[in-house]
Structure 1
Amino acid sequence: MGVVQEFLSTVYVVKDSKVLMTWNKKVKTWIPVGGHIEQNELPCDSVIREAKEETGLDVELVCLDDSPTKNLVQPVHVHLDHIKDDHKHINLIYFGKVIGGQFMEESDEQTENRWFSKEEIEKMDLMDNVKEWALKALDGVD
């Protein structure tokens, strides 16, 4: 059998100078909101759906460039995660902001959702790429 390559999308949601993270039971660490992109789903639609399912929030993705195209928001980064030798995740990373919804501190998929300040993120023991993009989101999203 060949290598399994799955596409995911994640969003670093910023509100009031804090970034939203979710505790992942499987990897036992704080990560951004997101998940697998479903068949026939655009990455930007996938991450908005995941944010709603996991946190109850309505999220708008943030364009960091001056592109006039608003129907397909470009990710800020694409990251390759080597899960196992024969399993990879291709992760499209977005920044976003809250535009509505009712925040859920807990959900069925994750154990806890929390907002963290820049100072808290800097002190936390996170995966390197998670810390890097959380800090960039805090610097880049109003």
Structure 2
Amino acid sequence: MNRHFTVSVYVVNNSRVLLHRHKKAQILLPVGGHIKPNELPEEAARREALEEAGITIELCDIDSLKQHNVDTEREKVLINPVHTVWGEIEAGHEHIDFVFYAKSVTDELKPEENESDVLRWYSEEELTQIKDFLLKDVYYMAKEAIQVYRGENKDA
């Protein structure tokens, strides 16, 4: 079996979420990719957003323990993903995907060379219009990310 750890990042700006046409899969997905050796998931999320969209992001950090100053000299509380998803990509090839929500202060996109240049910000209404063309998890997580940053979904 071939199992990889990956990140997906639903980036929100002005109540819109960023999706791109994945070059290999040819479907709309959030930015993301494989976690490199010795890379933390939160580092991979930031790197992938920068590579695939040319944007700097702030990850959604809902860990309540951070407010209680639990960081020490030798430990750090990491930013937890909002969701962790297992998926079989094809027979014998699996991904364990750490799903993050994030916000960007800019909506100007500058993907690196050789990255998908089919990127777009989608409102909730636009997501609903293309719902039948999206994977179910992409649709629901994209909507949830918008709602989280609007303050409508306190559970995520």
Unaligned runs of 5+ in 1: none
Q: Bigger shift: 13-22 or 92-101?
A: 92-101
Within the alignment, does 1:135 sit opposite 2:143 as a pair? yes
Determine the C-alpha separation between the residues in 2 that align with 1:100 and 1:18: 11
How large is the Cα RMSD of the aligned pairs? 2.0
- Compare the two structures and name the one with the higher helix fraction: 2
Q: 1:114 aligns with which of 101, 110, 120?
A: 120
Determine the C-alpha separation between the residues in 2 that align with 1:25 and 1:14: 21
Count of aligned pairs between the two proteins? 140
Determine the C-alpha separation between the residues in 1 that align with 2:111 and 2:123: 16
Determine the C-alpha separation between the residues in 2 that align with 1:64 and 1:86: 34
Unaligned runs of 5+ in 2: 71-75, 151-156
Residue equivalent to 1:82: 88
Determine the C-alpha separation between the residues in 1 that align with 2:61 and 2:149: 10
Decide whether the 8 Å contact of 1:104 with 1:113 is kept in 2: no
TM-score by length of structure 2 reads 0.82
Determine the C-alpha separation between the residues in 2 that align with 1:83 and 1:97: 28
Whichever of the two has the greater Rg, that structure is 2
Segments of 4+ in structure 1 off by > 3 A? 99-102
Percent identity, aligned pairs only? 36
